[in-house]
Amino acid sequence: MSTWILNGTIVNLETNAAETKHVYIENGVIQNIMDTESELPETGIAEVIDAAGKLVSAGFIDMHVHLREPGFEYKETIATGAMSAAKGGFTAIACMPNTKPVIGTAEVVRSVLAKADAAEAARVLPYAAISVNQLGRELTDFAALKEAGAIGFTDDGVGVQSAQMMKDAMKLAASMNMPIIAHCEDETLVVGAPVAEGPFAEKHGLKGIPNESEAIHVGRDVLLAEATGVHYHVCHVSTVQSVRLIRQAKSLGVNVTAEVCPHHLLLADEDIPGLDANWKMNPPLRSRKDVEAMIEALEDGTIDMIVTDHAPHSEEEKAKGMQLAPFGIVGFETAFPLLYTKFVKTGKWTLAFLLTKLTVKPAEVFGLPWGKLEIGRSADITIVDLNTEQEVDPATFVTKGKNTPFTGWTLQGWPALTMVEGKTVWSSR
Ligand SMILES: NC(=O)N[C@@H](CC(=O)O)C(=O)O
Ligand SMILES: [Zn+2]
Ligand SMILES: [Zn+2]
């Protein structure tokens, strides 16, 4: 029995041309993408999805998310996180290991995969920790973690402080053809600072996180990546200096890739309205110059992809104020509407450009079999209503996290239906 998505708008990612097509799916696989004039079979259709006037895209892929399970289920569970992702149009998400226990043993990797499977929402691809308990003292068992299903190694949440440990990790990962993903932060430069160095920190008498705390690690790590040959991926790039170093490393042929978050493309520290911790994340919102550098780096290919760094926290935790609240904001359910409204509707980017950074690029960089709407591929598909305007309202979120700085923003580009392997996992109706 087959599923048909009828009359959807498909954007050619090379030319940005939009065409109305029917997508024919069977056994979870895209069997055909047909012109609307073509005749439909008269029998054997199990399901018809009307996508008239809507965008039909390969499902979005988010290579940096926090699902909080095991250990912090009050912030999020694998089920609520994977469903929130599906609501945001994401069909595959890569989750970070800063859970409790840390995703640092084969057993925890397997349990995350089992829970993700049971959730029947977005696919979940676990990263495993670089160091035992993410303490930066000894390496985890990379071989066992890879065997259990981990797709890469990272201590995200904290930076790997020891250059020797990072080099050892890179050497080992390179020998196994696995990537190292890095949260870049020199801890000696950020002690007790909740926001970026700059006018906001000064105005409120807060300690500031300097740009160098990120860029020092980027510089160190591209040298180590050059020496070891590993695929090195930089998390949530936020400074003009990091971009400069990545651009130079790429031009020298170092195997480095990078990601940026919607908030670092849209917000600067000067936009923070007051001491509301829904504006607190790591890396912090920086200067307008940094924001402009992020946009330029994404446009020229220095930064490869967009990720959300979805980081849910409870309302109690975020109520502790700017100094004491944990870093992080949620991202799944606002990412596409934000980027579509602020960059595509404004004419700065083509829709094809935005879709590429959310589908083709992450798949290409991490060697994943998804990210393209093509005959023969798994039917991981997102249908988006590009027209309806809606306000961001955390009360409507599927994620347990309500911590967003985008409350009240009026946006377009809301996902309407998300399908993984031919099965609808989320629908707005
Ligand atoms: N980004 C954040 O502000 N917070 C993340 C950690 C991280 O991504 O470094 C979290 O786990 O809450
Ligand atoms: Zn991080
Ligand atoms: Zn993170």
Domain edges within the chain = 2-56+376-427, 60-366
pTM recorded for the entire structure: 0.98
Say if ligand 1 is within 6 A of residue 401 CB.
no
Q: Pseudo-torsion of CA 299, 61, 326, 161, nearest 10°? A: -70
Residue 412 φ/ψ region, left for φ over 0, alpha for ψ in the -120 to 50 degree band, beta for the rest: beta
Report whether the peptide linkage leading into residue 101 is cis, meaning its omega lies within 30 degrees of zero: yes
Residue 282 CA to ligand 1 center (angstroms) comes to 6
pLDDT of res. 214? 98
The owner of tokens 């065997």 is 147
Local structure of residue 342 (DSSP, 8 states) = I
pLDDT of res. 143? 98
Q: Is 282 labelled as part of a ligand binding site? A: yes
pLDDT of res. 37? 74
Residue 28 CA to ligand 3 center (angstroms) comes to 31
**Four-way CATH pick for 60-366: 3.10.560.10, 3.20.20.140, 3.20.20.70, 3.40.50.20:** 3.20.20.140
- How many other C-beta atoms lie within 10 A of the C-beta of residue 177? 10
Q: How far apart are the first and last CA of the chain?
A: 23
Q: How far are the Cα atoms of 75, 171, 211 from residue 168, in angstroms, in the given order?
A: 33, 5, 26
Residue 273 CA to ligand 1 center (angstroms) comes to 21
137: exposed, middle or buried (Cβ count in 10 Å: 0-12, 13-18, 19+):
exposed
Say if ligand 1 is within 6 A of residue 359 CB.
no
pLDDT tens digits, residue range 237-287?
A: 999 999 999 999 999 999 999 999 999 999 999 999 999 999 999 999 999
What's at 348, amino acid-wise? K
Candidate of 66, 127, 403 to mutate for ligand 1, largest count of ligand atoms within 8 Å of Cβ: 66
- H helices, E strands: number in the chain: 13, 19
Q: Which helix (H) or strand (E) holds 150?
A: none
**Residues, the chain:** 429
**Four-way CATH pick for 2-56+376-427: 2.30.40.10, 3.30.360.10, 3.40.50.970, 3.60.21.10:** 2.30.40.10
* Ranges under pLDDT 50 in the chain: none
The owner of tokens 């946006």 is 411
Say if ligand 1 is within 6 A of residue 327 CB.
yes
Positions marked active-site: 309
pLDDT of res. 193? 98
- How many other C-beta atoms lie within 10 A of the C-beta of residue 250? 17
Q: Which atom of ligand 1 is nearest to the CA of 311?
A: 12
pLDDT of res. 224? 99
Sign of CA dihedral 189, 195, 200, 204: negative
Closest CA to 175 of 231, 109, 234: 231
pLDDT of res. 41? 76
pLDDT of res. 38? 75
- How many other C-beta atoms lie within 10 A of the C-beta of residue 35? 9
Residues measured by CB to lie within 5 Å of ligand 2, the ion: 156, 183, 235
